[in-house]
């Protein structure tokens, strides 16, 4: 699908926590998007937000709806968390290289931490639809940080970890028993140390692993070279060669 600038209509915005919003966008000409891709969003009425903000596609349906899961961490995301129904959002999409799908359906593990769970719902749905058995491990500091648990439970098995033990296994995602089972493929998105720990487990068991990075971006189009990640083949753009990378290519 060719990249485009689209005016997406805000259908709904609900606060999942005081700092996390689930935003439903609609367009009757919504471009075809793949799991792992992102939007570069022009934040309206936020003078201190000059550049667009990259946000993952959290959920996507062929009827023209697309969902974002946004964590309020600064001016731009704060404003996005206050969008109202009927507002329009100027977005560049679809951007980035998507997650790759296994050639044959198998057992897949999707590990997310914090707002990094965002792209894993769309991915999990696509994998389940292709016949894969999907297991999620969702991690957070406390139970309140586990986002969209019910939505994930509709797609696959869900394991939880929290650092304080308030839900699921106490500790980090890699401490979850489901982490030790064999998988055909592992996908991860979240804080870098978490993804590095997941990639390490995957490498030890020889399991192919893909991670979605959140490097700072300006253009989102492969033009400015601001978002580079060091890889086995030199600096590569997280916005076009990624955000999804095979973890074997990353110099972690």
Partner 1 sequence: MPDLHVNIGALRLKNPVLTASGTFGYGTEFAPFLDLEALGGFIVKGTTLHPREGNDYPRMAETPSGMLNCVGLQNKGVEHFCSEIYPTLSNLDTAVIVNVSGSTVEDYAACAARIAELEHVPAIELNISCPNVQAGGMAFGVTARGAASVVAAVRKVYPKTLIVKLSPNVTDITEIARAAEAEGADSLSLINTLLGMAIDIESRKPVLSIATGGLSGPAVRPVALRMVWQTAKAVKVPIIGLGGICSAEDAIAFIMAGATAIQIGTANFIDPRTAAHVVQGINEWMQSHGVNSLDEIRGCI
Ligand X SMILES: Cc1cc2nc3c(=O)[nH]c(=O)nc-3n(C[C@H](O)[C@H](O)[C@H](O)COP(=O)(O)O)c2cc1C
Positions that interact with ligand FES (CB under 6 A): 217-220, 222-227, 237, 239
Whole-angstrom Cα distance, residue 242 to residue 220? 10
Which parts of 197-216 interact with ligand FAD (CB under 6 A)? 214-216
Q: C-alpha distances in angstroms, 5 versus 41, 52, 185?
A: 10, 12, 33
Count of alpha carbons within 13 angstroms of residue 235, beta-carbon side: 7
Partner whose binding site includes residue 243, from ligand FES, partner 1, ligand FAD, none (CB under 5 to 8 Å by kind): ligand FAD
Please give the Cα distance from 214 to 243 (Å, whole number). Answer: 7
Site string for partner 1, 62-101 (x = CB under 8 A): ------------------------------x---------
- Is residue 70 at the binding interface for ligand FAD, with CB under 6 A as the rule? yes
Site string for ligand FAD, 28-67 (x = CB under 6 A): ----------x----------x---xxxx-----------
Q: Of 103, 98, 61, 128, give the one whose Cα is nearest residue 212.
A: 98
Residue 3 touches which member of ligand FAD, partner 1, ligand FES, none, C-beta under 5-8 Å by kind: partner 1
CB nearer to ligand X: pick between 16 and 224: 224
- Choosing from 52, 67, 79, 185, the residue that interacts with partner 1 (CB under 8 A) is 52
Q: Which residues contact 223 (CB under 8 A, 6 or more apart)?
A: none
Distance CA 215, CA 241 (A): 12
- Candidate residues 133, 221, 224, 228; the one interacting with ligand X per rule CB under 6 A: 224
Q: Do you find a cis peptide bond into 94, omega within 30 degrees of 0?
A: yes
Burial of 14 (0-12, 13-18, 19+ CB in 10 A): exposed
Q: How far apart are CA 113 and CA 212, in angstroms?
A: 12
Smaller CB distance to partner 1: residue 125 or 236? Answer: 236
> Smallest distance from the beta carbon of 229 to ligand X, in angstroms?
16
The residue (of 126 and 241) whose beta carbon lies closer to partner 1 is 241
Strand partners, 41: 53, 91
Q: Name the one range near partner 1 by CB under 8 A: 80-88, 136-144, 194-202, 224-232.
A: 224-232
DSSP classification of residue 97: B
Contacting positions for ligand X (CB under 6 A): 224, 226
Contacting positions for partner 1 (CB under 8 A): 2-5, 42, 48-52, 92, 215-230, 234-235
């Amino acid at each position: 699908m060719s990249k485009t600038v689209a005016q997406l209509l805000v259908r709904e915005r609900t606060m999942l926590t005081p700092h996390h919003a689930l935003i439903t966008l609609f367009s009757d000409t919504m471009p075809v998007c793949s799991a792992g891709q992102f939007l570069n969003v022009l934040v309206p009425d936020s003078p201190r937000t000059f550049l667009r903000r990259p946000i993952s596609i959290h959920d996507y349906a062929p009827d023209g709806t697309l969902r974002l899961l946004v964590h309020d961490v600064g001016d731009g995301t704060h404003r996005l968390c206050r969008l109202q129904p009927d507002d329009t959002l100027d977005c560049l999409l679809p951007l980035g290289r998507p997650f790759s799908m296994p050639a044959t359906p198998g057992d897949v593990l999707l590990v997310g931490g914090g707002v990094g769970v965002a792209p894993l719902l769309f991915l999990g749905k696509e994998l389940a639809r292709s016949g894969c058995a999907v297991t999620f491990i969702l991690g957070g500091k406390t139970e309140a940080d586990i986002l969209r648990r019910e939505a994930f439970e509709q797609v696959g098995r869900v394991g939880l970890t929290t650092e304080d033990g308030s839900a699921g296994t106490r500790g980090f995602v890699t401490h979850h028993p489901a982490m030790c089972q064999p998988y055909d493929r592992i996908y991860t998105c979240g804080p870098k140390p978490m993804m590095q720990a997941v990639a390490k487990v995957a490498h030890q068991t020889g399991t192919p692993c893909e991670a979605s990075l959140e490097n700072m971006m300006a253009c989102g189009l492969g033009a400015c070279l601001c978002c580079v990640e060091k890889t086995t083949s030199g600096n590569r753009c997280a916005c076009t060669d990624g955000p999804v990378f095979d973890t074997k290519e990353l110099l972690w």
